[in-house]
Amino acid sequence: MSLPLKWEFPGGKINKGEMPEECLKRELREELGIEAAVGKPLPPVAHHYPTFSVTLYPFICTIVSGEIRLHEHVACVWLSPEMLHTLDWAEADMPVIETYRKILKSPLRSVN
């Protein structure tokens, strides 16, 4: 996406024939230089900005190997779920954060 000065989760466009999980693994490798285990999917989020629309396919992931190196981004932060609200997020990412925080508060939670 092109939303300067807004925080976004890493990811990108799904290539033809690619599953969302495969896309995320590829994007994490390309954008951050890490290998990740893609875990539990969260509900997809469709959002309409004034000039474009986007559908996010979020997953809860774990870094398997590598050290985060920014290849396409200006900054990166690692926050606890309680601190996620402190950033100026892209609007499409807000429902992802809320869903993730609800899962963590659930007595029957299973994040992976």
pTM of structure: 0.87
β-pairing, 45-48 with 35-41?
unpaired
Q: For 108, left (φ over 0), alpha (ψ -120 to 50), or beta?
A: alpha
Examine residue 7 and state whether it is found in any structural domain, yes or no.
no
- pLDDT tens sequence across 6-22: 999 999 999 999 999 99
Q: Is residue 112 pLDDT above 60, yes or no?
A: no
DSSP bridge partners of 41: 59
| 111 domain-assigned | no
CA-closest candidate to residue 58, choices 10, 106, 108, 90: 10
User: Given a cut of 90, is residue 108 above it in pLDDT?
Assistant: no
pLDDT confidence of 3, banded at 50, 70, 90? confident
Single-letter amino acid code for the residue at 74: V
Q: Minimum mean pLDDT among 2-6, 63-67, 68-72, 85-89: which range?
A: 2-6
- pLDDT at 111 > cutoff 60: no
Residue 14 lies in a domain: no
**Structural domain contains residue 5:** no
Q: Answer yes or no: is 12 within a domain.
A: no
Q: Which residues pair with 2 in a beta bridge?
A: none
Phi, psi of 86 (to 5 degrees): -80, -10
Domains held by the chain: number: 1
- Tens of pLDDT, residues 31-67: 999 999 999 999 999 999 999 999 999 999 999 999 9
At 58, the amino acid letter reads: P
